[in-house]
């Protein structure tokens, strides 16, 4: 049964005409309240992931649960359909189990708080936020085991429960939950920060209704949804054709030696509605790379992409959802069957954005981006320091953002634009490590008229022995380039022992032992390039030589002959470019680099790692 809303004032809201000035004031007040949620969070949380990196996602929804402002899509709809209980004034709900809310949160580490906002007995809004908890128990530090075969191995699963019931705090319940984590202080502080953020937004909503009246406020939220619907309807009609287009990309491996795993999506317009069909996506993995993709979440991804490409001024919200139909096959990598493991879903989540770019750009290649959102690199480091105190780090790294129609991709940026890096000073202050190097990985961005963003080369020197875990992707299948742009370079991880010996480390490894003064070279992938590399300004490449973004040998990919001081040999460059143009074939719209079998054949030589093995079901399918 869906949630039952208990209201003591059942007076219906009256629809009011909203003048443009009032609508603009309410819209910006809601935007500001959403920003205030973030500000409250970072001032209150303790974990590096939330406090320093902002790995939390707020929203403010209307009285029906439709998001008006937010960052990561609406997760209230799935909750309301699944929650078999009541919601009334003074309640606040906590949950983390993806299977209990249709994937509205996608792994157990994400703790979601939902606050129904009542005024004088009437439900007028919802505020909500979820954030990634650094540890929730389970079989490994950080609670994201690569080799998990079941969600039960991934830490505490919290079904929808009331942490506040009619204004009374459920202290015993929270003691039970916090008892499961290795970092209860962090988890409690982060949860308190999320709760405080939701309460701040609720107060702002109440203030708006007191200023303008309940009916005006509700009518304004409905107009904001309707305005978004009108804008998206126009964008869809302009950008999406009735002819089917398909695109596919791959997650490199599952961390257990098998891969790659295909994600495929086909898109077309049927009247006013866009159909997005994931038929052809590989079956679910035995490991934890599955992604329980909530349909509304994907609609939001689609909407964000459309808005950011075509009209960034549009306020994205839930208003356009009826214009999109999402079809995801049961038992696939994107809709695994319970109790499939989900903790490593980040790679598929990142790949979804690359696939959206490939789909939406086929009709208008000039709007294409290369690949490069791709993943969200994680590093875990834990153990006991020299004073015998437990330490535990969870950090999200950055890769290269792809080249774009308007210019180069940013070097070393995150999957989510709101994320920031953990300052090196913070890491060195609170953890037994030194950051020896923090720079872009030269030449890792794909060559193009607009260069793909370089990945990051970050070197950690560990001051205490302990264990590390690494979660990353794009080490086997490179990020593709577009419109003649070249693929970005692949990710690498190298462990340099204190005695100077080096070892190639996999990009998905669990509880790997490190000794004092070992160094980890954590090198992420670069974004794919955009446009013909031979059209890039040689003088610009000369400047990038000096800046350390491109090397002398890397400049040859652009047909540029240049020395270490960045001085371009104009005559040699013109001759080299003429020679390359005479010999090369027509430039492709997409440059994926070598095919999968060629990547397999050359994998060990190029990466130092064995190629992933075809999953059993792939082999059986080919045999049949």
pLDDT in tens, 174-224: 999 999 999 999 999 999 999 999 999 999 999 999 999 999 999 999 999
Single pTM value for the model? 0.94
> Which pLDDT score is estimated for 364?
81
Query: For the chain, what percent of residues have pLDDT higher than 70?
Result: 96
Of 545, 556, 551, whose CA–CA distance to 486 is shortest?
Answer: 556
Name the pLDDT band for 618 (thresholds 50, 70, 90).
low
End-to-end alpha carbon distance in the chain? 43
Report the alpha-carbon distance of residue 244 to residue 359 in Å, rounded.
10
List, edge to edge, every strand of the sheet that includes 245-251. Answer: 245-251, 261-270, 273-277, 324-327
Q: Which residue pairs from 19-23 have beta carbons closer than 8 angstroms and sit at least 24 positions apart in sequence? A: 22/212, 22/216, 22/220, 23/220, 23/223, 23/224
Q: What is the mean pLDDT of residues 498-510?
A: 95
Q: When comparing pLDDT for 312 and 471, which is higher? A: 471
pLDDT grade for 80, boundaries at 50, 70 and 90? confident
Contact yes or no for 429/489 (Cβ under 8 A): no
The proportion of the chain whose per-residue pLDDT surpasses 90, expressed as a percent, equals 81
* pLDDT the model gives residue 149: 95
Q: Contact 303/235 with Cβ under 8 angstroms?
A: no
pLDDT of residue 47: 94
Residue 120: per-residue pLDDT = 95
pLDDT given for residue 469 in this prediction: 98
> With 70 as the cut, is the pLDDT of residue 73 above it?
no
What confidence category does residue 79 fall into, taking pLDDT thresholds of 50, 70 and 90? confident
Express each pLDDT in 336-394 by its tens digit: 999 999 999 999 998 998 998 899 888 888 888 899 876 889 999 999 999 999 999 99
CB 201 within 8 A of CB 36: yes
Q: How confident is the model at residue 300 (pLDDT cuts 50, 70, 90)?
A: confident
Tens digit of each residue's pLDDT (9 = 90 or more) over 397-435:
989 999 999 899 999 887 666 778 899 999 999 999 999
């Amino acid at each position: 049964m869906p949630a039952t809303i208990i209201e003591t004032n059942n007076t219906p809201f009256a629809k009011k005409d909203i003048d443009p000035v009032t609508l603009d004031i309410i819209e910006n007040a809601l935007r500001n309240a959403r920003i205030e949620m973030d500000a409250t969070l970072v001032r209150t949380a303790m974990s590096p992931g939330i406090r320093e990196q902002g790995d939390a996602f707020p929203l403010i929804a209307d009285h029906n649960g439709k998001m008006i402002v937010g960052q990561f899509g609406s997760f209230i709809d799935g909750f309301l359909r699944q929650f078999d209980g009541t919601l009334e004034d003074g309640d606040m709900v906590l949950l983390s189990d993806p299977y209990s809310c249709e994937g509205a949160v996608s792994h157990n580490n994400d703790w979601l708080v939902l606050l129904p906002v009542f005024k004088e007995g009437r439900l007028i809004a919802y505020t909500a936020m979820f954030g990634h908890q650094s540890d929730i128990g389970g079989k490994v530090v950080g609670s994201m085991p690569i080799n998990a075969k079941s969600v039960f191995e991934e830490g505490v699963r919290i079904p929808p429960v009331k942490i506040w019931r009619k204004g009374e705090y459920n202290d015993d319940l929270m003691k039970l939950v916090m008892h499961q984590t290795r970092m209860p202080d962090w988890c409690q502080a982060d949860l308190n920060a999320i709760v405080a953020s939701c309460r701040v937004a609720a107060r702002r909503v109440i203030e708006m209704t007191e200023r303008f009246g309940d009916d005006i406020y509700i009518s304004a939220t409905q107009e904001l949804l309707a305005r978004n619907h009108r804008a998206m309807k126009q964008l869809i009609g302009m950008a999406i054709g009735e002819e089917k287009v398909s695109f596919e990309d791959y997650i490199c491996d599952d961390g257990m030696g098998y891969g790659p795993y295909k994600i495929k999506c086909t898109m077309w317009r049927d009247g006013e509605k866009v159909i997005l069909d994931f038929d052809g996506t590989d079956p679910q993995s035995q490991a934890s790379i599955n992604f329980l993709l909530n349909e509304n979440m994907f609609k939001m991804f689609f909407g964000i992409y459309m808005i950011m490409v075509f009209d960034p001024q549009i306020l994205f919200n839930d208003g356009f959802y009826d214009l999109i139909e999402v079809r995801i096959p049961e038992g696939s990598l994107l809709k695994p069957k319970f109790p499939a493991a989900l903790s490593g879903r980040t790679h598929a989540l990142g790949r979804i954005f690359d696939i959206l770019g490939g789909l939406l750009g086929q009709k208008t290649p000039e709007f294409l981006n290369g690949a490069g959102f791709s993943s969200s690199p994680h590093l875990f480091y834990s153990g006991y320091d020299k004073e015998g105190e437990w330490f535990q780090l969870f950090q999200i790294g950055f890769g290269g953002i792809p080249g774009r129609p308007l210019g180069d991709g940013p070097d070393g940026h995150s999957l989510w634009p709101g994320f920031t890096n953990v300052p090196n000073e913070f890491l060195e202050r609170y953890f037994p490590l030194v950051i020896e190097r923090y720079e872009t990985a030269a030449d890792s961005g794909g060559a193009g008229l607009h260069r793909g963003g370089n990945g990051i080369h970050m070197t950690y020197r560990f001051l205490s022995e302990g264990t590390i875990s690494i979660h990353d992707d794009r080490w086997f299948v490179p990020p593709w380039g577009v419109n003649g742009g070249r693929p970005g370079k692949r990710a690498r991880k190298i462990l340099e022992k204190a005695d100077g010996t080096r070892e190639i480390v996999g990009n998905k490894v669990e509880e790997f032992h490190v000794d004092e003064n070992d160094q980890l070279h954590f090198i992420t992938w670069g974004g794919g390039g955009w446009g013909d590399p031979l059209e890039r300004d040689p003088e610009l490449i000369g400047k990038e030589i000096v800046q350390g973004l491109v090397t002398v040998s890397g400049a040859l990919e652009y047909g540029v002959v240049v020395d270490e001081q960045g001085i371009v040999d104009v005559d040699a460059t013109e001759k080299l470019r003429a020679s390359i143009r005479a010999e090369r074939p027509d430039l492709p719209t997409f440059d994926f680099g070598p095919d999968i079998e060629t990547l397999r054949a050359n994998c060990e030589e190029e990466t130092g790692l064995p190629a992933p093995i075809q999953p059993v079901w792939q082999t059986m399918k080919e045999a049949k």
